[in-house]
A and B are shown apart, each in its own frame.
Chain A
Amino acid sequence: MKRLLALTAALCLGVVAACGSGGSGGSDADSGSVTMWIYPVVPDQAKHQAFWDQRIADFKKANPNIDVKVEIFPWPQRDQKLQTAIAAGKGPDVVYLIPDQLPKYAKNIEPVDSYLSDQDKADYLDNAKAAVTYEGKMLGAPILTSTRPLVCDRKAFQAIGETSYPKTWDDLLALAPRFKAKGIDATNYFASPDATLNESFYPLLWQAGGDVFSADGKSVAFDGEAGVKALEFLKKLVDGGYVEKDLLSSIPNIEQTHIAQHKVACTWQQAPADVEAFWGKENVVVLPPLTETKSVGYGTVGSLSILSGAKSKAAAGKWVAFAGQPNVAKEYDLAANLFSPRKSTGQLYPNDPVQSAMEKTVTLTTVGSLNAKSRDVMAVLAPEIQAALLGKKSSQDALSSAAEQAKGLLGQ
């Protein structure tokens, strides 16, 4: 009996000790361990890993009791893997997310506001900060931005003897017949439901002065005047034969499209890096996004978010604040060939004509309004846009039908 009592007491002590150590680790900002999941933002895996190894070593000097582990996962199926890991309680402490993902994971995210200094927060570009702010809280610390401006092929313009590039929708429509006469598409448009509307339709919607959701996020707004205008503009391009028709139904590899054959004049769906190999860097002309009522394009923001299941939120917060510092972010953006979300970093590419032109358009980008149902709404809107472009519905009917379906998704 005595033995049994002693054993029970020892077990209880063990349990208390275990709980105690876990508790202290969870509450103490100066100790703990942090696991971060990131993806191949820097395509060279060795270079990418070396970057984070060096940053971990720097961080460790100031925080000797916090262990950081950075794991680089492939892009494909990242949502599924993260989702499964969170559901199983095996998620990371910190993860790289883009604005599209943030509202969906909002329930699992610890806002970073309290972990960043006011000075830090004030240093972010307004659009970068807005891109990670959901329901008034910053769900991630931005470390990079990207931009999708208008990219034109100098050779295509030479083929029609044109020296000025389009600034507005009307400019592009006016040039389109001349390009067609030379066997060149005015632009390309992916209408397959698999293509993200962020890079295809939404920029036009924003340029026409519209938005996907209403200001309160409780209803959709794409079926208004701006939406119809944007879809009509696309229909003119399709009906005139100014875009590659196969892209309306499928997403072939870029090598199999007109882009790769010098047969597309301008695009807002590909970045210079996507077309350089086919056009040659000397033929890539970067311009601000097209204008209807305003010039605006899509640009994403990569941010580091702390998951609410983090073992030590304080330690994770310290690491996120460190990894998002201007000097760290600047080095990372240069390694990834992307752009800084910070004001204080200044120009990153003063000597690169293409990258510096891209950099100038960063402030003209948006991710639109964040909404937990953004992907669901995209899934009902994309097929309707496709139907309109294939001539099966009028623009207004297609958008109204999508808006009707979206009502159910938004619980209206």
Chain B
Amino acid sequence: MTATIERGAPAGPTGPPARPRARRSPLQRREARFGLLFALPCFLLFLAFRFGPGLAGVALAFFHYEVGDTPRFTGLANLSRLLNDDLFWKALRVTVVYSVIAVPLSLVCSLAMALLVRKKFRTVTFFRSVFFLPVVTSLVLAATVFTWIFSSDGPWTRITGPVLGWLGGYDGSWLASSVWVLPAMALVSVWSRFGYGMLIILARLQDLPAELEEAALTDGASSWQRFRYIVLPQLKPALFFLAVIETTGSFQVFDLVYVMTGGGPAHGSYTLVFQLVDQGFKFFDLGYASAIGLALFVMTIVVAVIQRLTLGRES
């Protein structure tokens, strides 16, 4: 028997009816207390080592602190310097452009691959493993290999060179071009991350009730209509989660830049985290590095809230 739904009908409650909360026995309460007691050291360590440095970083953003110096409270001086630092704005632009390329591309690839390996065919498990493989590959190793692939002697350049030469902004190597360096790095990032997104979306796809799609099929909906009106809306929570994770990851990109370009050419791939590391560990200006970190944190939160308000509101 095929279940049908009445178009436009409000969706009813989907979960099981609420049950009155059962009263726990003294033994259960005792067990719970011991459980919390055993978890406490771990929780305290987590607080100390996860939030402690974070809070110290926030505090340090209001100090002038170079190694060997006594920290000196300077109020908003670091943040004011940040606003007048051309390199910060350049790094911010690079980070945003990189994220704008990498995040949607990663979501689309993850979704496409998840839909592909959702189907049941003989070698599907093999393909799922192959697509997930880049996630567990060292990014530094991958970046080293891709540096060669994008070099002027590399296969990617040989394939795309003639077309891009005609388009302009390209002078023999993707990594030497300030126009193409960010797309190049975004492609490597997508290659290394889409398997994770695919897994998340696949898990969600396998949880979706088949009845809805079957009903739509009975009603004569095309593949695109089934995807657009049935599958996609139900994937929203997973897509929102991925969008937040991918955006946060993109805002924090460092290893790719470090291995592939060192921030070049001419600051063309100089990201915020790269600037943070430079300031903190190359120039030892920990106060200013912390101010960059604080700005990055605030921006990440703002972007996550915007994503929540747009993409994740209904989920």
Contacts and interface: CB of A to CB of B under 8 A. Distances in A.
A107 B69 contact: yes
B211 interface: no
Interface in B159-179: 171-173, 175-176, 178
A107 B68 contact: yes
Interface in B217-244: none
Contacts of B86: 405
Interface string B256-291: 001011111111001000000010011110000000
A80 interface: yes
Contact of A386 (B144, B171, B172, B266): B266
Interface in A183-235: 191-195
Nearest to B266: A387
Contact of A246 (B151, B266, B267, B283): B151
Nearest to B267: A383
B106 interface: no
A379 interface: yes
B153 A246 contact: yes
Contacts of B144: 252-253
A248 B263 contact: no
A246 B157 CA distance: 12
Contacts of A376: 283
Interface of A is mostly: helix
Contact of A384 (B151, B266, B270): B266
A386 B265 contact: yes
B67 A386 contact: no
Interface residues of A, number: 37
B147 interface: yes
Interface in A347-380: 375-376, 379-380
B283 A390 contact: no
Contact of B148 (A252, A383, A384): A252
A230 to B, nearest CB: 18
B152 interface: yes
Contacts of B87: 380, 405
Interface size range on B against A: 20 to 34
Contacts of A384: 266
Contacts of A322: none
Interface string A64-108: 000000000000010110010011000000000000000011011
Given A194-B262, A245-B173, A250 B68 contact: no
A386 B173 CA distance: 14
Nearest to A373: B283
Contacts of B258: 194
Given A246-B151, A249-B176, A250-B151, A387 B281 contact: no
Contacts of B266: 383-384, 386-387, 390, 392-393
Contact of A104 (B261, B278, B284): B284
Interface string A246-261: 1011111100100000
Contacts of A43: none
A360 B264 CA distance: 37
B171 A250 contact: no
Interface string A379-412: 1100110110011110000000000010000000
A134 to B, nearest CB: 14
Contact of B264 (A77, A80, A249): A249
A387 B261 CA distance: 13
A193 B263 contact: yes
B172 A86 contact: no
A192 B264 contact: yes
Contacts of A386: 264-266
Given A87-B67, A390-B171, A392-B178, A249 B265 contact: yes
A94 B306 CA distance: 52
Contacts of B261: 192, 249-250
A246 B153 CA distance: 9
A383 B283 contact: no
Nearest to A404: B86
A86 B68 contact: yes
B183 to A, nearest CB: 14
Contact of B175 (A86, A193, A250): A250
A351 B148 CA distance: 41
- With a 10 A CB-CB cut-off, give which of A246, A249, A253, A383 has the most chain B CB atoms: A249
A375 B282 contact: yes
A86 B69 CA distance: 10
A34 to B, nearest CB: 20
A95 B178 CA distance: 41
Contacts of A104: 67, 284
A376 B262 CA distance: 15
Contact of B260 (A86, A250, A375, A391): A250
A83 to B, nearest CB: 5
A83 B152 contact: no
Given A108-B67, A245-B152, A375 B264 contact: no
A83 B267 contact: no
A80 B281 CA distance: 6
Contacts of B267: 193, 383
Contact of B147 (A107, A245, A252, A392): A252
Contacts of A392: 178, 265-266
Interface in B122-143: none
A379 B264 CA distance: 11
B258 to A, nearest CB: 8
A250 B148 CA distance: 10
A45 to B, nearest CB: 24
Contacts of B260: 250
Contact of B283 (A375, A387, A393, A405): A375
Contacts of A390: 171, 176, 178, 265-266
Contacts of A380: 87
12 contacts: A80-B281, A86-B68, A87-B68, A105-B68, A192-B261, A246-B173, A246-B176, A249-B181, A249-B264, A379-B283, A380-B87, A390-B176
Given A83-B67, A108-B68, 11 more contacts: A107-B69, A191-B264, A193-B264, A245-B172, A245-B176, A250-B147, A251-B262, A252-B144, A252-B148, A375-B283, A383-B267
Interface of A: 77, 79-80, 83, 86-87, 104-105, 107-108, 191-195, 245-246, 248-253, 256, 375-376, 379-380, 383-384, 386-387, 390-393, 405
